[in-house]
Structure 1
């Protein structure tokens, strides 16, 4: 893959914790909490620093939104997981329908 080949990969871990937190309007502590709760598991750089993908940031932003609505972390995590699985299933179905 070329150096620009990752630009379209939503799962490529391109963002540092600080940048990721800034992008979703959260704190690094919030992202650590999601990692500790095993809701979002970032990849680690060679030096052990967390790296987040755009996909993970969308999930984290959705969890944050649910928490802001008063939903507990565990419930928010389950909702986001189910929403993500449903979106995956819809993409698969759309692929079959397009064949």
Structure 2
């Protein structure tokens, strides 16, 4: 509830819907993905994902970061080396973003094109 009006606090809901909100501790992230905390630290060291830090210095992961880490795990489980899996995931992520931007540009140009 909101402090002054007895209404629900929308900021908490907004955070839960935010793919980039660092909602998961390292232990919980590792549990969700079925990996070790050492694996997650390795992805941080490989600079695939850089978790935010809590006030106490603990790593905090977002859903977006968990998706990337999960994809790396899939590739590693298929026999891909971790460093190669990280490069693949980075390229996949860049391609997805480029395709999204391209579609957005197509839509905006078709909206402004004369009939």
* TM-score of the superposed pair, with normalisation by structure 1: 0.92
Query: Which structure 1 segments of 5+ residues have no match?
Result: none
> Which of 27, 32, 39 is 2:41 aligned to?
32
When normalised by structure 2's length, the TM-score is 0.80
Which residue is 1:22 aligned to? 31
Say which one has the larger Rg.
2
Distance 1:66 1:3 in 2: 34
Alignment match, 2:12: 3
The alpha-carbon deviation at position 34 of structure 1 amounts to 1.0
| CA RMSD between the two structures | 1.3
Q: Give me the whole-angstrom Cα distance separating, in 2, the residues matched to 1:60 and 1:17.
A: 12
Deviating runs (4+, > 2 A) in structure 1? none
